[in-house]
Amino acid sequence: MRVLISADMEGVTGVSGVADVRPGEPEYLLHRKQLTAEVNAAVRGVLARHPGAGVTVAEAHAAFRNLLLPELDQRARVLRGGPRRHGMLAGLDGGADAVIFLGYHAKAGTAGAVLAHTVSGAVIADVRCQGVSLGEIGLNAALAAHLGTAPVLVTGDDLAAEEARRTVPGVHTVEVKRALGASAADSLHPALACELIEAAVPAALDARDRVLPPRFDGPVELEVDVHRPAMAERVLLVPGTERAGGTTVRYPAPDYPTAYRLVELVAVLGLAAS
8 in a labelled binding site: yes
Q: Is 117 a catalytic residue?
A: yes
Whether omega for the bond prior to residue 83 falls within 30 degrees of 0, making it cis, is yes
Q: Beta-carbon neighbour count of residue 1 at 10 Å?
A: 16
Given the residues 31, 86, 117, 227, select the one marked as catalytic.
117
Q: Judge whether 239 and 144 are in contact, CB under 8 Å.
A: no
10 in a labelled binding site: yes
71 in a labelled binding site: no
CA 232 to chain CA mean position, Å? 24
Q: Which amino acid, residue 90?
A: A
Helical segments of the chain, H only: 28-49, 136-146, 158-167, 190-206, 229-235, 256-271
What does the CA dihedral 176, 186, 109, 215 come to, rounded to 10 degrees?
10
| Known binding-site residue numbers for Zn(2+) | 8, 10, 61, 105, 136
| Known binding-site residue numbers | 8, 10, 61, 105, 136
- Which of the residues are catalytic? 117
